Amino acid sequence: MPANLPPQYFDAEKQFRMAKSPEAKIEALEAMLAIMPKHKGTDKLHADLRRKIAKISEEAEKKYATSRISFHIRKEGAGQVALVGLPNVGKSQLLAAVTEASPDIAEYPFTTRAPTIGMMRFENIQIQLVDTPPVAGRDARTWVNNIARNADLIAIIVDLSNQPVEQVEATFQELENMGIVPATNDAQDTTLGRRQRKMLIIGNKNDLENSSIGQSRLKSQYSARFPVMSISATEGNGLEDLKRGVFEALDIIRVHTKNPGTKPDLTDPVVLNRGGTVKNAAESVHKEFRSKLKYAVVWGSGKFDGQRVGQDHILQDGDIIELHI
Ligand SMILES: Nc1nc2c(ncn2[C@@H]2O[C@H](COP(=O)(O)OP(=O)(O)OP(=O)(O)O)[C@@H](O)[C@H]2O)c(=O)[nH]1
Ligand SMILES: [Mg+2]
């Protein structure tokens, strides 16, 4: 089937050929797409143009990545976790171990220059991990600052074989220089202009011979204030505990909603902050549910299974709720 393209299409194509900047190129390609009639004869052309747009934006993003002042990574999944730490501690190796991402990993420091994102599956949810350049480097002020500031949780990674307590302190210091401090339960501690963030400490390389002393020092120093985990990203030690630890540190719960008379879908839970109520769950299913909801029936956190509860009932991880509207 012939494509039968209108003359305006060829004008836009000419603009594309003359365009110098990626933005102008993309604009022309978008115009070509908009003008192009949609039928079987243009399917291939349509796909070609889409591919071209994707390629140009990807190249442009790579080019701008190191020069942009502010950068923010869109959250996906149940929560966003920034992997932060000194050079060479294994941040990228960890990302590669628990997600499908394939970041650059090397035995020399300052390998990572811009962030890489990966999704980590924990049971029935996905948690977004963001690998960042090392905190001590020149890319840190731009990247780490913006990413750590917005993340739901900061995972501080250290190398257990090399003075891990000192590494944690150095990382805290770098974060504090950016105005990011650990969240405390003390409501009084709200120093002006500082961003409080939940934090978790991960000791990596526990496969190395001299890692066990570092591990016990790390635990005794920090476990009263932070979750402290011990892993080997290369050997895979402790990764299942790590996933659960990250989930728990995020302070979120999974709730399964269902309609009366149907079975709950246990594979795709609604994710709420800890302390979330029936009202919050109903809202996240559908905005209108909140005002329409008469009552809910809960299996899990109720006094007994199948208990009828009101909108303010606080839910627990794994609850099943049936929404009656
Ligand atoms: N023995 C051992 N080596 C590891 C482990 N994790 C990472 N490494 C090694 O440590 C080196 C640095 O790993 P990366 O993942 O690149 O470290 P990074 O923290 O991302 O480094 P930068 O990007 O420079 O900040 C590599 O040679 C890895 O193979 C581990 O669990 N055990
Ligand atoms: Mg790296």
75 domain-assigned: no
Give the Å distance between the CA of 207 and the centre of ligand 1.
Answer: 12
Count of domains observed in the chain:
3
Give the Å distance between the CA of 94 and the centre of ligand 2.
Answer: 9
The CATH number of residue 239's host domain is: 3.40.50.300
Residue 304 has pLDDT above 50, yes or no: yes
50 domain-assigned: yes
Bridge partners of 32, per DSSP, are none
| Residues within 6 Å of ligand 1 by CB | 85, 87-93, 105-107, 109-112, 134, 204-205, 207-208, 232-234
Lowest mean pLDDT among 157-161, 187-191, 210-214, 240-244: 187-191
Question: Which of these three, 200, 220, 249, is where a domain ends?
Answer: 249
Quick one: 164 and 123 in the same domain? yes
Q: Which ligand is nearest to the CA of 93?
A: 1
Question: Which of these three, 249, 267, 295, is where a domain ends?
Answer: 249
Quick one: 307 and 217 in the same domain? no
Rounded Cα gap, residues 297 and 200, in angstroms? 35
Quick one: 118 and 256 in the same domain? no
Residue 194: its pLDDT value, please? 75
Q: Quick: pLDDT tens for 128-151.
A: 999 999 998 877 877 888 899 889
Half-sphere exposure (Cβ direction) of 142: Cα atoms closer than 13 Å: 14
Quick one: 119 and 256 in the same domain? no
Quick one: 244 and 175 in the same domain? yes
Mutate to test the pocket of ligand 1, among 105, 116, 239 (most ligand atoms within 8 A of CB): 105
307 domain-assigned: yes
Rounded Cα gap, residues 299 and 139, in angstroms? 49
Question: Which of these three, 65, 98, 115, is where a domain ends?
Answer: 65
Q: Which residue has the higher pLDDT, 31 or 79?
A: 79
Provide CB contacts within 8 A for 142, sequence distance 6+: 68, 69, 70, 71
Q: Quick: pLDDT tens for 81-102.
A: 999 999 999 999 999 999 999 9
Quick one: 109 and 203 in the same domain? yes
Rounded Cα gap, residues 244 and 225, in angstroms? 18
Residue ranges of the alpha helices (H) in 115-210? 140-150, 164-177
pTM of the full predicted structure? 0.78
Domain holding 296, by residue range, is 252-324
**pLDDT grade, residue 64 (50/70/90)?**
low
Give the Å distance between the CA of 230 and the centre of ligand 1.
Answer: 15
Q: Quick: pLDDT tens for 201-224.
A: 999 999 999 999 999 999 999 999
**pLDDT grade, residue 191 (50/70/90)?**
low
180-182 and 125-131 strand pairing: unpaired
